[in-house]
Amino acid sequence: MDAITPEQISRMVDDFYASIRLHPRLGPIFEARLAAKWDSHHDKLKAFWRSVLLTSGEYNGRPVPAHNAIGEL
């Protein structure tokens, strides 16, 4: 099996959130919070997934509490 690359992770995050932005229910929820911050949020998400999938150790946030605080989710 080939190793996952940072470029594949980047593409996955970009593609996934492009679809989220078009989703009729989830799109407005995320857009309301990230309208001017999509790029920085994508950077954070990519660091998270690199940490998980490549064990890079570069992400140090707490995503579950942050998302649990969004009542609409």
For residue 59, give both structure tokens: 């992400």
User: What percent of the chain has pLDDT above 70?
Assistant: 99
Q: DSSP string of the chain? A: -PPP-HHHHHHHHHHHHHHHHH-TTHHHHHHHHHTTTHHHHHHHHHHHHHHHHH--------HHHHHHT-TT-
pLDDT surpassing 80 at residue 73: no
Predicted pLDDT at 8: 97
Give the pLDDT band (50/70/90) at residue 1. Answer: low
The pTM of the whole model exceeds 0.75:
yes
